[in-house]
Amino acid sequence: MPKRRQTRDGGRPRSGGQRPPGAAGRRPGSPAGRPAPAGRPATAGRPATPGASGTRQAVERFSARPLVFLTQMPRWVLLVIVLGLLISGFAVPGLIGAIALLLAAIFLGWLAYLSWPSISASGRAGRVVAVVCMLVIVVWQARR
């Protein structure tokens, strides 16, 4: 079945790139008719965690850009990086392996700290156990 040709108001066919009047430069679903927010966005002055301490607010503000960057990367990239750190940490004895494992432990601890307010007690315990185990392995690897 052939496609219907778009026509102008007078019945004449439209040339390739013309749009109907009033739609110039807009895409469907674009916020063209909506007013722009005044000043800052609503979340700019508020902490992500209500009732958070000043230190937590600072860490959350500092972590915002790296987290956005991590969420925009393909998931497999982060997996490859963390697995590379873990494999090289276990494969290379001594200080170099311990540093690779320490980087993985720091990343794990950072994510555990950021997710702390939103998880249950069992989830918190699991994260503490995971970070402590990683640090024990780092010490063991450094002494190897």
Q: Write the CB contacts of 92 (distance below 8 Å, at least 6 apart in sequence).
A: 100
Question: Cα–Cα–Cα angle for 24, 37, 68, nearest 5°?
Answer: 90
Token reading at 140: 């063991």
For residue 82, which amino acid is it? Answer: V
Q: How far is CA 113 from the centre of its chain?
A: 15
Using the structure block, give the residue that is written with the tokens 């995971």: 130
Cα–Cα distance list, 6 to 14, 21, 40, 48, 78 (Å): 6, 13, 42, 49, 47
**Most confidently predicted of 66-70, 80-84, 112-116:** 80-84
How far apart CA 105 and CA 113 sit, in angstroms, is 12
> What local confidence, expressed as pLDDT, does residue 52 receive?
74
| DSSP classification of residue 111 | H
Closest by CA position to 99, among listed 25, 67, 121, 107: 107
Q: What is the pTM of this model?
A: 0.62
Burial of 103 (0-12, 13-18, 19+ CB in 10 A): middle
What pLDDT, in 10s, does the model give residues 52-75?
Answer: 788 888 888 888 899 999 999 999
What pLDDT, in 10s, does the model give residues 13-47?
Answer: 555 555 555 555 555 544 454 454 454 444 455 55
